[in-house]
Structure formats: C-alpha cells, structure tokens
A = this chain, B = another copy of it.
Amino acid sequence: MITHPSFDVRPWAVHESTLNPDALARTESLFALSNGHIGVRGNLDEGEPHGIPGTYLNSVHELRPLPYAEAGYGYPESGETIVNVTNGKLIRLLVDDEPLDIRYGVLRTHERTLDLRAGTLTRQLEWCSPAGNAVRVRSQRLVSFTQRAIMAIRYEVEPLDTTLRLVIQSELVANEPLPGGGGDPRTAAVLESPLLLEENASAPDGAVLVHVTKGSHLRVGAGMRHEVTGPGDVHVETDGGGDVARVTVTARVAPGERLTLVKYVGYGWSARRSRPAVHDQVVGALSAAATTGWDGLLAEQREYLDEFWSGADVEVEGDAEVQQAVRFALFHVLQAGARGECRPIPAKGLTGPGYDGHTFWDSEMFVLPVLTYTSPAAAADVLRWRHRTLPLAQRRAAQLGRQGAAFPWRTIAGRECSAYWPAGTAAFHINADIAHAVVRYLEATGDREFERETGFPLLVATARLWRDLGHHDVRGRFRIDGVTGPDEYSAVADNNVYTNLLARQNLNAAAELAVRHPDRARDLDVSVEEVAQWRDAAAAMYIPFDERLGVHPANEGFTDHAVWDFAATGAEDYPLLLHYPYFELYRKQVVKQADLVLAMHACPDAFTPEQKVRNFAYYEALTVRDSSLSACTQAVLAAEVGQLELAYDYLGEAALMDLNDLEHNTRDGVHIASLAGTWVALVSGLGGMRVRSGQLSFAPRLPSDLTRLCLRLRFLDRRLEVDIRAEEATYRLLDGEPLTVVHHGTTLRLGADPLTRPIPAMKAGPRPQQPPGRAPARRGAGD
C-alpha cells in the first residue's frame, strides 16, 4: 500500500530514508510544521528544488476578484486567498563556493523524520559537491506550540574529508515566485508578489522585514535572530535590501568540526497595528525565544506534546500503518488548531495553498470532534472565531433576504468566497454544523462561560436562519426547500435529511439555552414567542422517508431518480465532477460523500437500528467517495451495523489518504478533515463512541486483524482510557471525578478502578456492495 518506498512505518514518526525529487510537493505537505498560527511547508532548507514553497500565517490573505460571465444577485465579488508570506526557513550553504543543491554533485544519503512526540522535523544528509568536497548536514526545525510567534531551526554542517570554507546564508525572503496553478478548479489561485515592502531593518545577527498585503491591507512582520557556534574565526555579516534580508556566516571548518547555526524566526501580523508595533512584536518574540534557547524550545515542545498525547493517544495493535497514521493524523490536527486562537482551521491547515486556504464546514463536522475530545480549548477557539465573524454572517443573511446568520461556505476572514452558489450559498447546513459543534463542545466540557458568551449567540443566530428558511406546508410539516446538503453530487433539493435533522437539533438547542439564559436571551431580543416558534419548527421538521424502499432519501425525491450508470463509468472517469456536468450528477442517484450516512452518525437517535442497516446498504451502493470526507463516516456506520471488516477497510482509506496520497493532491496540503477522520473511524467507528444527551457511550468492536485498540480522550475535565480487545473492553479514568459511561447499552459508574466488560456478539448481514470499482481497498485478512 505504501506507494513511497522511501517511507517506513514507525509508531511515533514519519521517516523518509531517501529523497524522491518527484514527490517533493507531497512530502512538503506531509512534513509541514504548524502551531495553527504559523505554518511552514517541509521545503528543503536551501529552498530549491521545491514543489511549492510555503509559509503561512493563519488568516493572512489577499483579495482577488471573482469573475462571472453571467453574474447574479448576491454573488460575492471578491474572494479571499491565502498568501505565501515571508519565508524565514531559508538557509543556503556554500561548500567551497559551490551551493548545496541536491540536483548537482552526489547526494549520498538523505533522511527526514517528522517526530510526533518531539514536534520537530529533522533532516540529515551527506552530500559531495561536484568538486568532490563532502559534507554532512543536520537540520532540525520546529514551529513552537508554546511560543506561538516562533519558528526555530538548528542547522549544522560538518566537513567529512577535508577542511572546507563553509558559507551559510540565512535569509528572510518575501514574494517568492510560486509555480502556476493547474486546470483543476480546486487548485488555489496563484497570486504574484502580494506583499508591499514597508521596512527592511538589519541588526548584526538578524533582520526584520515588514510588508503589507496589497488589497487586504494586512501588515506582516517577520524577523530572524541567530546564534552561531563554530571553530576558530567565524565571520558573521548582515546584508539585504528590498524583499530580502540575509545573515551570512563564513568559517573554515575541518573534518570533525562543526559549524552550527540556530535561527529563531518570529512572525506577527495585524490589520490594525502600525509598522513600529508589528516590528516590536516580532523583535520581542525573538528575544523571548532566544532567552529560552534552542534546547529550551525543544523541551517546551515535548512537554506540550506529552500533555496532549496523555489525553489523546490512540494505540492500535495489529496494524502498524494505522498506528502510525492515527498519530500522524492527530499531530496534524493538533498542529492545525493548537494556537489558532480565534482563527479558522483551513481545509489544508497551514500546510499548503489548496482550496485557497479556505475553511469549510468540515472544520466543524470532522476536525472539531477530534479537538473537542483531545484539546477542547482549541475547539472552543475555532467556535469563538465563528462568533467573531457573526456580524459578517448576519450581513450576508440580510443580503440574501434572510433572518439570523448565514455563515460563509468557504472563507478565510468571514466573507463568503464561494463563486458557485448551488454548492456554496445553498449549502446552508454549514450553519447547523456550527451549531452542532457548539452543542458537542458544551456536552463535552460543560463550559458555561463559553455557553453564555459564544455558544448561545451562535445558536440563536443560526436558529433564526432555520426558522426563516423553512416553512410549514398545508400538512403542517416544516420543510426546508431548495438547499444543498453535504453531498455535492446533489444540490438545491428539498428536505435534505442531513440538513433537516441538524437544523432540528439547532432549533431545539437554541430553545433550551434560551430558557437557561434568560438575561442573554433578552440581550439578543429573543422572545418567548420566538423560542416557541423554534420548538414548533423543530417538532414539525419534515424528514422524508421512502416507505416503498424502507430507506431515507438523501433529499426528498432522491430515490425516484435514476441510478447512476456505474457499469458505463470507467476508473478514469473519477472523480466524476471532473468528467461529468453538474446537472447530470445532480439528477441521478450517485453520491460523492454520503450525507445520509453522516446524518446517522451525527443524529444517532433519529434512526432505528433497522433503518441504519437498510440506509447504510442502500447508500453504499451509490457512494463513489470522490470526497476525502467520505470514508471515515462510512467506517463509523459500517462498524455500527456490524460490518467490521468493511469499517476496517474504510479506516484504512481515511488513514492513508495523505500518507499514500490516495487523491493525488496532497501536494497542495494535507487533508485535515480526512486526517481527523482517521481518529473518527477508530474512536466513533470501532470504538462506537457517541455522546447522547450528554451521556458518553461506547460500543466497541474490533475487526479480526486488530488485536487491541486503546483510546484516550478528554471529557468533562477528565482523561479517560478505553482499552479494547476482541472479547472485552476496559474503561479507565486517568484523572478526575467519577463518571458514568455506557458500554454497549449498559451504564457503568467509572471511578478510580478500571472496569472491564465483555463485548456482546453481533450478527451482521451480508457485506454491502459498493459501485463497481469503488469498493475500498481490502485491508484486513478477515471476513
């Protein structure tokens, strides 16, 4: 399965043993480091060759016009797109005047390791220059979780055979040229030279550059500061100008000696603060980092991660790849959200320019579940960001003639950036997804301060939208017509089951909190009549059901549509959206990602067990998984209906999406939501974890290949461990007050002592069939 022979499987690391120049862009994404505020792609220290150079600051974006051959009312005129900011990771090396460039000379060895416990990317290489001078280079970089403005690099060179004159050039470079975009509409727009220089200030051991983005007027500061150690006479000088600042270190170094550079890079940005303020912010961060020192930063990094893993690790026995993948996934999810601090989590995190750097609904529905149960403060921060953009969402709703809030389908700073309304504006479910994430967070944390200040206003604004968007028909059913659910192969349909179910939850949750916070309700002009309307709409919510087939149609009328002609669809015709017109996808029974299946996960009590079995089998036959978001949800429901081997196959697909580049676009950044889905597939899938009315429950079952699955998670200020084996599961409270949990329907009172319970047998039906050629790769030997 590993398409990359240079990767090997390690439990706590991603290790690359040789460099594959053709896969550079992909490995840059996999080896990206981030703390949610700063993101740096795994570009080689010397900058070239590269796939896509990338350094990002969360929410630093540029505006670009959105053109329409035929415009329409309410179409966004301007889009936000991620900016490649000043590159601070550049360290060039001259070996007796010859630049280290792996395309020349002989690269004897090249190894890179992403260490998931240390939070570092290390690189070691031996290179022999065309003139025959060999050096060993070791570099290690981190983006600090504890000092959010700081990235740091330790760079060490050692001559192998003879004394050499070594020159290290450490740089800050803005407006790097970027490779052009492809024809795929999902590829990010390329922006040339988005940064205008405001300041280029040098110091003896460093420099500060301050730029402003041209259209969005965001001020970006980047600074560097160095510590050099080396033998004998080491000469350090600073120069630069324009978009470049450079510190040059020159020394003669003998074999056995080492020239070492520690580079601290600090970043800051602001839409409001002045150039001096941003300058000083960067310099201050650098001072703090230098005071901490390289070893101090390493120690802080490990301590931060130790704390994270203590409440988040997932141990998998019986599948080393999945073991590696889930830790890799958790690491990237943490990286994406750890220090965002009221900023969004983009679909690619800060690992690449894919999707223009936008965040989507999957932040709330796939990423936040992981953070809520492993790093809840990060989840709260993302929702606080949504709350901060509430005025924009309310303005958008007003533009659309709606009450309440209409959150953007895709955005960086809160403005709607979707230029295709049937899959953008019409996808109102984003609003219920945000509400769902609020409810989930509140159930998992009991955070009343958040509930009052952030959760309740979000629930009110979204509940108002739903009440306004739907209407009662003559039979008294509350209908939500003409909207698009998560499945992008249907659009602008009536009564999407997913949307209606989540809207119902949203309305009910808003009504409930209005009772609990009468003062806040008053502040928000929520009257008892309005609350009654929410309850009434929720109670009357229309959930279509096809009695003839005994399944829920994804949307009203869906099951009357023609089934896609899968037999006539070749492997080369996928993903379908690149080979068939939208109208054809929308009018047929074919599913990109099964939103009806996702509805069964998100609203487990809205379906009977029999309905789940029938629905799952029905949608399995229609779902092509052209979305990276699909497999994990299918794993969850496969497990719930007892299809454990199928669940395991889907788990494998979710887990290896990026490591094996299954969708061939990891080059543009890793799929944060699909990575999160690895955890979801294991915890909610094989672990059967749900929270029902605040009650944490599990229904663990393992596929035959896995001998053990041990989950750790945080819930209501406790850390909990669920240790699952084939026949039994052991529940362990790692800290905190006693807690009730449910094991396969039985309530357990969990205190200091672990409790072990047997796993009941389950008889599953025949394995559901997928469309021809679209079955997941078989992972297990089982069945």
Contact = CB atoms under 8 A, between A and B. Distances in A.
Interface of A: 66-74, 79, 185, 400-401, 418-422, 425-426, 471, 473-474, 479, 481-483, 491-492, 494, 548, 556-557, 560-562, 577-584, 586-588
B71 A425 contact: no
A557 B560 contact: no
16 contacts: A68-B69, A69-B79, A69-B420, A72-B185, A72-B577, A73-B580, A401-B581, A421-B583, A425-B581, A471-B562, A473-B560, A479-B561, A482-B561, A482-B586, A491-B492, A494-B557
Contact of A578 (B73, B425, B483): B73
A72 B474 contact: no
A420 B422 CA distance: 11
Contacts of A483: 583, 587
A69 B491 CA distance: 19
Nearest to A561: B481
3 nearest A-B residue pairs (beta carbon): A482-B587, A69-B419, A67-B67
A419 B70 contact: yes
Q: How many copies of this chain does the complex contain? A: 2
A260 B71 CA distance: 50
A579 B73 contact: yes
Nearest to A557: B494
A90 B578 CA distance: 51
Contacts of A580: 73-74, 401
A94 to B, nearest CB: 45
Nearest to A474: B548
Contact of A67 (B68, B548, B561): B68
A625 to B, nearest CB: 18
Nearest to A577: B73
Contact of A584 (B401, B556, B562): B401
A418 B482 contact: no
A584 B479 CA distance: 14
Nearest to A78: B69
Nearest to A573: B401
A70 B583 contact: no
A584 B583 CA distance: 19
Nearest to A548: B474
Contacts of A586: 482, 492
A401 B482 CA distance: 26
Given A481-B561, A557-B556, A581 B400 contact: yes
Interface centre among A72, A74, A556 (most CB of B within 10 A): A72
Contact of A562 (B421, B481, B548, B577): B481
> Could you say which of A74, A421, A481, A491 has the most chain B C-beta atoms within 10 Å of its C-beta?
A481
Contacts of A185: 68, 70-72
Contacts of A561: 479, 481-482, 494
B66 A69 contact: yes
Contacts of A71: 185
A425 B422 CA distance: 15
B560 A481 contact: yes
A70 B420 contact: yes
B425 A560 contact: no
Among A79, A418, A580, the most chain B Cβ lie within 10 Å of the Cβ of A580
A556 B400 CA distance: 25
Of the listed residues A400, A482, A557, A588, the one surrounded by the most CB atoms of chain B closer than 10 A to its CB is: A482
A372 B400 CA distance: 44
Contacts of A584: 400-401
A248 B343 CA distance: 72
Given A73-B577, A557-B557, A578-B73, A492 B583 contact: yes
Contacts of A426: 583
Given A400-B581, A581-B401, A419 B68 contact: yes
Contacts of A579: 73
A582 B581 CA distance: 20
Nearest to A186: B70
Given A71-B185, A72-B185, A492-B587, 7 more contacts: A70-B418, A72-B582, A400-B584, A425-B581, A426-B583, A482-B561, A483-B587
Nearest to A569: B401
B67 A69 contact: yes
Listed residue (A70, A71, A425, A561) with the most chain B CB atoms within 10 angstroms of its CB: A70
Most chain B CB inside 10 Å of its own CB: which residue of A73, A561, A583, A584? A583
Given A421-B581, A492-B491, A583-B421, A479 B70 contact: no
Contacts of A419: 68-70
Contact of A582 (B67, B73, B418): B73
Contacts of A582: 72-73, 421
Among A471, A494, A587, the most chain B Cβ lie within 10 Å of the Cβ of A587
A420 B72 contact: yes
A564 to B, nearest CB: 11
A322 B69 CA distance: 38
Nearest to A584: B401
A581 B74 contact: yes
Contacts of A68: 67-69, 185, 419
A202 to B, nearest CB: 41
Contacts of A492: 422, 491-492, 583, 586-587
Nearest to A480: B587
